[in-house]
Amino acid sequence: MESMLVLAGEALLPSRIQMAFTLASHVLLVPLGVALPTLTLLMEGIGIWRKDPVALTIARRWSVVMAVQFAVGAVTGTILSFEFGILWPRMMGRFGAAFGLGFAIEGLAFFMEAIFISIYLYGWNRLRPRAHFLVGLTLPPAGLLGAFGVLSANAWMNTPGGVTIDSGRVVDVDVLQALFTRALGYEFWHFLIALYMTAGFVVASVYAVAWLRGRRDHYQRLAFAVPFTIAAALTPVQLLVGDLSARAIASDQPAKFAAVEITWTTRDHNPEVLGGYIDDSGEVHLGIAIPSLDSLLVGYSPNTVVRGLTSFAADSRPNTLEVNIVHLAFDVMVGLGSAGAALSAWFLWILLRRRRLPESRWFYRLAALSGIGSYVAVESGWITTEVGRQPWIVSGTLRVSDAVTDAPANFVWTSLIALVVIYALIAFFFVTLLIKLAERWRREDSGVAAAPEMGVPYGPRSVPGE
Amino acid sequence: MNDPLANASAFVLLLAITAYSTAGGVDFGAGIWDLFAGRGPQSRRPRELIDHAMAPVWEVNNVWLVLGIVLCWTGFPLLFQSVFAALYPLFTLALIGLILRGAFFAFRHIAADPRAHYAADLVFGLSSLLTPFFFAACLGAIASGRLAFDQMSVAFGLVSLAATAFSGASFLVGDARRYGFDDLVAYFRRRAILAGFVLITIGTLALGAIGLEAPALLRSMLAGVGLPFVLATMILTPLVMLLLWRRRYVWYRVLTVTGIGSMVFAWGFAQSPYLLPGQLTISQAAAPHSTQLLLLAVAAVLVLVIGPAMALLYYLDQRGALEPPEA
Ligand code: HDD
Ligand code: HEM
Ligand code: HEM
């Protein structure tokens, strides 16, 4: 019996790593999955109403990327949903009736997305332009609904609510309360903006590279300007919304907030520490401390009292390593957000004052990096959220260690290794495919024409036997 | 103990499983025939048809799976917990098959080198066996009420492979006909008939295994609520074979799907009101009513919104409206 318990404990580490790895991989696909349809439709709209064939070509190419990436998202997402059962069966058994609600809505949304993406993609030739555009209009709301569902489930883990528990079992669920928990308010908007920002920067960064390589025609300008303008407009908004999130977790999820700010003891005039790390005795090393700024940010007054880590029992707050991860991740997110805001200001300044696109090489070099930067910011944000919740899987209610599977540790390590290998293969195939597509499109732009979707495994068919 | 809401949710869950078994089965079946297509130049044409037949609908199939799993953990958390706590190795194998398959299906489109291409075909084909076998093995372990990998799981797994191969071949006949490839029509017609014989043989043996391992289940399959569905399967499978044998290419795809769907229904209805025979009934495992209501609402929206959309997709697809122009 004892050895069983030891084994169960050992599965905790690989299970956490596996969950983190698969979620972090899946979330890379989400920004383009949710927001690329909107960008594509915008481009298609420009093409239809301004009678611009170049815009239509761009839209059509983006829709191919959308489809390939949806397929990868579908596979990695399916893995995730099984993982909840394989890795955390007791979490699902206890709270599935509440935690699962968001996913039921997500399931509905993805269903719509999967079907309409197929029709949209295959319909380029066969549907009339306006009918095709109308089919496409179903995609953004479907993506939105899906993101809502997942975020609702995640928010429930952070600020659980809407359940009545009797002797350990959920006996009643208030559906609306369980779907709309406190954390959803800030997580949803912050994440939604992150998705559109990221999609904008990522897509634009491809054409920033094209600019650096010397391509400066209408095609390149249009494909760069539309997504970059959207991202640039959203970035400042994101900083404000992120600030609201931070203030909200200070009261809703105080242990997470203490980790974010590496605050050891509860105090007023709390400094804001940039960089740096904390050790087991609460000493902060390195880093720049700005006196009283944290208190000021939270309560608009240096006298605001901020709770420290020591005000939570040692087994109910993130451990030192986790605290440092959270703090670093938060700083990376905020740092990248600020850098993005500066780049956006540069862009908007030139766009609005001079009514043209920037012409500086440095601008395009930075723009080329903005895509990767946004992905890193999104990952950092999630690390802040998830690691900051430790040691709870359901905040204050169920510990990660009580939810984990009884499977032997070796089993989980093995499946983790298998998944890492297979995901690496998928990433390799995915990138190779995109590069091949890009090469083919470049060739076509210099002459030969074919349907953009030809040769895409998830796209429309080529005629067999040719 | 009768709980109409929970029963309705359980029925929706069964529908999702059935949809995945039939729609997914057609798809996995194509993968199985890909594996059996062999290596040489003669394997090229069937492979191309298979590739072609799979492209448009395959990611839609995963959604059924996800929907089933979400319904299960939200609607019946206790079932979900016990099933996964016990059967995680089987689910893991099924999943590994699922992602390998998706990945290598993509890879074989970009592999230029013939050896890499062959390796991709092989992994794709083998994983098309892995997933249907192990998912069905999980259902077998549930049906026995023991949640263990034993004869019942093997029996369910083998039936699933045979059914999958059968429906895959039957649909490939349809695809070959659509393009007017007479040689491939003949090729897959023979294979469909062959798979039908295998399915009937294995199905009969499986009934025997169920009788030995779970006599109560067999009883309600042969003398209870499961009977109409068992009969439907027993009639429809030979009927499809007969139609194909006589080259009467009408209704055979609908009948294939109905026959296989009935098989899943036969199991599902026969073990009601139990979710886990002898251990957990539908009402014991059910989440609170409010949750069930939300699930049913989602299901209703699905039927109202998605039903027509799915129909449109299949309609466009079957009419060939989704083909690119001859570039
Ligand atoms: C483009 C990406 C991006 C950028 C520039 C920012 N964030 Fe962020 N942040 C996210 C992307 C993100 C995210 C990935 O979307 C997260 C993860 C979970 C969530 O709801 O959003 C997140 C979470 C997250 C959380 C945790 C919320 C929780 O656990 O409930 C806080 C406190 C902040 N952010 C605060 C900020 C601040 C103060 C920012 C800048 C001033 C900022 N974020 C910029
Ligand atoms: C999509 C972006 C996400 C990323 C990158 C992410 C990242 C992580 C990380 C790093 C961990 C490990 C934390 C640790 O053990 O220290 C984790 C755990 C976990 N996350 Fe997330 N997460 C994401 C979203 C979600 C969502 C939306 C849910 C559920 C709705 C979720 C559910 C879980 C669960 C159940 C665990 C395991 C238990 C735990 O360690 O708390 N995650 N995630
Ligand atoms: C922030 C968190 C997440 C968001 C916003 C999100 C969003 C998405 C999106 C947009 C897709 C469609 C594929 C694409 O377009 O790339 C997708 C696929 C999927 N996601 Fe996630 N996801 C998140 C996390 C999760 C988690 C934690 C799960 C686990 C249950 C999950 C399950 C799925 C499933 C099952 C699919 C496939 C659905 C299909 O086949 O259409 N997702 N996700």
pLDDT tens string A66-122: 888 888 888 888 999 999 999 998 888 888 888 888 998 998 888 888 888 888 887
Tell whether A210 is covered by a domain: yes
Cβ contacts below 8 Å, chain A against chain B, sum to 247
In this prediction, residue A72 carries a pLDDT of 84
Is the same domain home to A86 and A215?
no
Is the same domain home to A372 and A434?
no
pLDDT at A403 over 90: no
Residues of B in contact with A108 (CB under 8 A): 298, 301-302, 306
Q: Which class would CATH give B9-318?
A: mainly alpha
Q: To the nearest whole percent, how much of chain A has pLDDT over 70?
A: 94
Cα distances (Å, whole numbers) of residue A78 to A181, B32, B106: 25, 22, 17
Q: Is the peptide bond before A408 cis (omega within 30 degrees of 0)?
A: no
Say yes or no: B67 contacts chain A, CB-CB below 8 A. yes
Cα dihedral A386, A389, A395, A400, rounded to 10, equals 80
DSSP A243-302: HHHHHHHHHHSHHHHHHHTT--S-BSSPPEEES-EE-TTS-EESSEEETTHHHHHHHSST
Assign 3-state DSSP to chain B and report helix, strand, coil percentages, each to 5: 85, 0, 15
Contact of B7 with B15, CB cutoff 8 Å: no
Is the same domain home to A423 and A384?
no
Mean pLDDT of chain A: 86
Q: Of the ligands numbered here, which is closest to the C-alpha atom of A75? A: 3
pLDDT at A466 over 70: no
pLDDT at A326 over 60: yes
State the nearest Cα–Cα gap between A34 and chain B, in angstroms.
Answer: 17
Number of Cα atoms under 13 Å in the Cβ half of residue A396:
11
In this prediction, residue A270 carries a pLDDT of 81
Nearest to A245 by CA among A292, A319, A193, A291: A193
In this prediction, residue B41 carries a pLDDT of 78
Q: To the nearest whole percent, how much of chain A has pLDDT over 90?
A: 41
Nearest to A112 by CA among A80, A144, A84, A85: A144
In this prediction, residue B35 carries a pLDDT of 87
Q: How many structural domains are present in chain A? A: 2
The stretch A29-45 carries a mean pLDDT of 92
d(CA A119, CA A132): 9
Tell whether A283 is covered by a domain: yes
Is the same domain home to A429 and A332?
no
Is the same domain home to A383 and A317?
yes
Domain range for residue A297? 198-252+254-388
Cα distances (Å, whole numbers) of residue A168 to A392, B6, B281: 16, 21, 20
In this prediction, residue B288 carries a pLDDT of 84
Tell whether A405 is covered by a domain: no
d(CA B18, CA B273): 18
Tell whether A464 is covered by a domain: no
d(CA B149, CA B81): 17
Q: Could you give the ipTM of this predicted complex?
A: 0.87
d(CA B292, CA B76): 9
**B259 CB burial (10 A radius; 0-12, 13-18, 19+):** buried
Quickly state the pLDDT bin for A196 (edges 50, 70, 90). Answer: very high
Residue nearest to atom 41 of ligand 3 (CA): A110
Residue numbers of chain B with a pLDDT score lower than 70: 1-2, 55-59, 317-327
- Choose one of A373, A388, A403: the last residue of a domain: A388
Tell whether A140 is covered by a domain: yes
For the CA of B59, the closest atom of ligand 3 is 40
Tell whether A310 is covered by a domain: yes
State the nearest Cα–Cα gap between A197 and chain B, in angstroms.
Answer: 27
pLDDT at A375 over 90: yes
Tell whether A164 is covered by a domain: no
d(CA A28, CA A132): 28
d(CA B286, CA B293): 12
pLDDT at A184 over 60: yes
Is the same domain home to A129 and A236?
no
Residue for token digits 């954390």? A183
In this prediction, residue A455 carries a pLDDT of 56
Whole-structure pTM value: 0.90
- Tell me the pLDDT tens digit for each residue of B202-240: 999 999 999 888 888 888 888 888 889 999 999 999 999
In this prediction, residue A120 carries a pLDDT of 87
In this prediction, residue A465 carries a pLDDT of 37
pLDDT at A462 over 50: no
In this prediction, residue A235 carries a pLDDT of 95
Token digits of residue B250: 């009408």
Quickly state the pLDDT bin for A450 (edges 50, 70, 90). Answer: low
pLDDT at A5 over 60: no
